[in-house]
Structure 1
Amino acid sequence: MPLIEHSAYEAKGFWRKNSHLSTILGTRYKKYPVPQYTREKISTDDGDFLNLDWRFQDNKKKLAILFHGLEGDSKRTYLNTCSDYFFEKGYNILAWNHRSCGGEMNQTIRLYHHGVTDDVHRVMVKAIAEGYESIYLIGYSMGGALIVNYLGEYETHHSLKAAAVFSIPISLKSCSDTLKVFPNTIYLNNFKKTLIPKFKAKSKQYPGQVNEAMLANIKSFDEIDAYYTAPLHGYASKEDYYHKASPATVLDQVKVPTLIVNAANDPFLGEECYPKERFKNYNHIYFEVPKYGGHCAFPLKNTLHSWAEIRAYEFLKAY
C-alpha cells in the first residue's frame, strides 16, 4: 500500500515534460514574490546560530516547517509558493536557513549537509517550545533528505504529525554519479558558484583547516565531498559520508507518516533513489513516482503554484 502505483501529477506542454526545462524554468527562472517574514536568530549550543523566518497566524494550532535544498535559502521560489499556499490554508510558517545560507556566514567551521540532523532537532525544539499543537515538515531535495534522516534517527515529539518531501536523494552516491553525466553536469557548475566562495570564506575564518588548494580541482561532487563535506563534518571519507547521510540507511526506522515524491525524470536522482520494492514493506512511508516533474519543479499550467505544495497539503491534512 505505501507504494503509490499511480501519481495524479500531469505535466501539460512540452517544457513541463522535459526534465531540464521543467527544472530550470520551474525553479530558477520562475518569479514569485517573497513572503513577508519575521526573522529570528537563535543561538546554538556549539557557538553558532540559525536564522529562522516566521509567518504567524492568530493561533498556534498548526505549524508548517519548510526545508530548502542545497545552496538554497528560505526565499527560494519553491519555498515561497509553498509558504503562501499553506499560510492561506491557516498554517503558521517557519522557513529556516541552514548554516551559511540566508545571506549570513555562520561562525563555526562546519557548514551543513544532508546529515545535519542535530540542526533539525534544534529547530524542532524551538518549534515545540513555542507551543504549536500540530507540526508538519515539508522539504525539498537536500532539505527533504534531512527530514527523513531526522525522522529515522530521533524519537519525535507527539506534536510532529507528518511530513512530505520532494525530489530527495535517497542514495547520495547514486546522485553524485548521476550529476557527473552530461548534461546533468550543468547543475554542478551552478552549485560551485556559491559553494567555492563559502569554502574560501571558511579558509579565512579557520586558517590551515580548510583545503583551499583543492578548490581549483573540483570537477564533481566527489571532490566537494571528499575534500570539504567529509573532513569538515567528521566523516572518515566521502564514502563514509555518502553511506551515513543517505536516507536509505534510516528508512526502516521512520515511524511518522511521510510522503516521498521523486519524479521519474529528475536529472539529479540516480536509479538507487527509486527503491520501489522496498517501499512495499513500509507502513508509515508513502512513495510516489510521477512520470514528470523534474527536480523540485512539478510545474502546473495557469498557476504559479507547483503541484508539490498541493500534493503536500492533500497528504498532510489527513494528520
Structure 2
Amino acid sequence: MNDFAPNGLLRNPHAQSILASTKLRKLRSYPRSRAMLNASKTVVLDCGAGQQLLGEHAAHAVRSKGLITLIHGWEGSSQSTYMLSAGGSLFAAGYDVFRLNLRDHGPSHHLNRELFNSARLDEVVGAIQAIHKTYPQQWQFLAGFSLGGNFALRVAAEAAKADLQIKQTVAICPVVDPAKTMIALEQGWWVYEKYFVRKWQKSLRKKINLYPELGYQNSLFKLKTLRDMNNYFIPNHTEFGDAADYFQAYSIAEDALVNLNAPAHIIAAQDDPIILAEDFARLAESKYLSIETKRYGGHCGFVKNYQLDSWLDERLLELINLRRYPTGDPAKSNQQS
C-alpha cells in the first residue's frame, strides 16, 4: 500500500499522538464501527487461577474470515478510539473481532481483587486461550497498541508453550524498554505524564472503592507524579522490590522474543515521543519478526489526513489479509489452506 506521508500539522508527533485518542476522531470513526458495536457482546473470560478478564466479542452471522483479538494500551480500554477504529475496519472487512480489556481497564475493576500490573502475562495468555477455545477459528490473529503491543508480542513468544495457533501478531508502537519509556514520559512534554497520572489515579480510585482493604486510600492523594506512584505501588502491590526489577519483568528487549514461532510484525514511528525508535534495534533477531518504521506517526497515531482517516487501520488489515491470502487471490489461498 502507499507509504504513510502526512502533510502540514499532521507531521507533528504530538498532533499525531493526541489525535489517536481524541473524541473528534471517535465521532468520525463511529459510522465505520457501528456494525461491530451492534454485533458486540460483553464476555467475562476465565483466565485460570481464579483470574478473570473482560472483553467484547463481535461475530458475523455468517462465516467470517477469522478472529482478530485486539489489546489496548495502558489506561485505554476496549472502547478507546483506536480500538473502535481498527476493530470497525476489520469487522467491515469480514473478520470477527474480540476487544480485550486488561485487568482494571474498562469496566472490569470488580473482577479481580489484586491490582493490575504489566508483568501479569499469565492471565493475558489465559485470556487468549479462552478466546480461542470459546470462538474457534482456523485463522486466529492478535494485535495490540503500545503496552497492548508489548503484551501481544509476549503472548506470541509464549504461543508454542501455551498451545496457541496465532497466524499473525501485529504490534503498533509497542513498549520495548519500560524504564526508558517511563523516562520519556517524565522528561518529555508534560501533557503526557499529566494524562497518565490522571488516568491511573482515576482507575485506582475505582479499585479502592471496590476493595478498601487494599489500603492505599490515604497514600494516593500524596502521589503527584508517575515516579511517586511507581515508587509506592511497585513495592507495596506487586511481587517486585523496586521499579528496576518490575520494568525488566516486561521488557521485550534482548532475548524476550527468541521463542517466536509464527510471524510477528511491528509498526513504529521514528518520531514517537514515548517509544524511542532506537529501542527496536535491541530486539532479538528472529526469522519470524519484521519491523516497519515510518518517519512520522507519533505514538499510535498514523492519522493520514484532516478527515482523521487512519492509515494504520488500512495497514493492519493489509497485513492480516496478506497472511490470510498470501497469493493475493482468496480463491487460490482457500484451496491451499
Instruction: Give yes or no for TM over 0.5.
Output: yes
**1:71 deviation in Å?**
0.8
Q: 1:63 to 1:127 in 2, by over 3 A?
A: same
Q: Which residue of 2 aligns with 1:3?
A: none
* Structure 1 residue 245 corresponds to structure 2 residue 239: no
After TM superposition, the structure 1 = structure 2 runs for residues 200-279 of structure 1, keeping only pairs within 5 Å, are: 200-207=205-212, 209-229=214-234, 231-249=236-254, 250-270=256-276, 273-275=279-281, 278=283
For residues 268 and 219 of structure 2, what CA distance do their matches in structure 1 show? Answer: 33
* 1:135-185 deviation digits (Å, cap 9, x = unpaired): 1011100100001112223425363101111111100011011111241x2
Q: Structure 1 stretch 28-37 or stretch 200-209: which is displaced more?
A: 200-209
The code of the aligned residue for 1:286 comes to: S
Residues 271 and 277 in structure 2, CA contact (< 8 A), matched pair in contact too? no
Aligned AA (1:151): A
Q: 1:271 to 1:303 in 2, by over 3 A?
A: closer
Which structure 1 residue ranges, 4+ long, deviate > 6 Å from structure 2? none
Moved more, 116-125 or 173-182: 116-125
Q: Is the 8 A contact 1:81 1:305 kept in 2?
A: no
Question: Is the CA contact (8 Å cut-off) linking 1:174 and 1:272 kept in structure 2?
Answer: no
Query: Aligned partners of 1:229 and 1:63: how far apart in 2?
Result: 35
Which amino acid is 1:41 matched to? V
What residue in structure 2 maps to residue 150 of structure 1? 155
Please give the per-residue CA displacement for 1:51-88, whole angstroms capped at 9, x wherever unaligned.
22111112255001011111111111111111111112
How much is the aligned-residue C-alpha RMSD, in angstroms? 2.4
Gaps of 5+ in 1: 1-6
Counterpart CA distance in 1 for 2:137 and 2:97 is 11
TM superposition shift of 1:206:
4.4
Q: Distance in 1 between matches of 2:20 and 2:128?
A: 30
Unaligned runs of 5+ in 2: 324-337
Q: Does 1:133 align with 2:173?
A: no
Query: 1:305, 1:156 → 2: CA distance?
Result: 37
Q: Which AA in structure 2 matches 1:159? A: Q
Q: Distance in 1 between matches of 2:101 and 2:293?
A: 28
Q: Which residue of 1 aligns with 2:56?
A: 53
TM-score by length of 1: 0.87
Query: Helix, strand or coil: the match of 1:227?
Result: helix
| Distance in 2 between residues matched to 1:203 and 1:180, nearest whole Å | 26
Cα distance in 2 for residues equivalent to 1:162 and 1:77: 23
Q: 2: CA distance between counterparts of 1:43 and 1:158?
A: 16
Give the direction of change, closer, same or farther, for the CA distance of 1:132–1:14 in structure 2 (3 Å limit): same
Distance 1:203 1:53 in 2: 25
Per the alignment, in what secondary structure is the counterpart of residue 247 of structure 2? Answer: helix
Paired residue total? 310
Which SS does the other structure have where 1:41 is aligned? strand
CA distance in 2, matches of 1:88, 1:20: 29
* Alpha-carbon contact 2:78-2:101 (below 8 Å) kept: yes
TM-score, normalised via structure 2 length? 0.83
**Letter of the aligned partner of 2:199 in structure 1?**
T
Asked if the contact 1:202/1:210 (under 8 Å) is kept, the reply is no
CA contact (8 A) 2:102 2:124 kept: no
In 1, Cα distance between the equivalents of 2:209 and 2:258?
A: 41
Aligned-partner SS, 2:187: coil
3-state SS of 1:251 partner: coil
Q: Deviation at 1:44?
A: 4.3
Q: Report the counterpart of residue 64 of structure 1 in structure 2.
A: 68
Q: Secondary structure at the match of 1:189?
A: helix
CA deviations on 1:224-249 (whole Å, 9 max, x unpaired) are 33322454232222111111111215
1:28 equivalent in alignment to 2:19: no
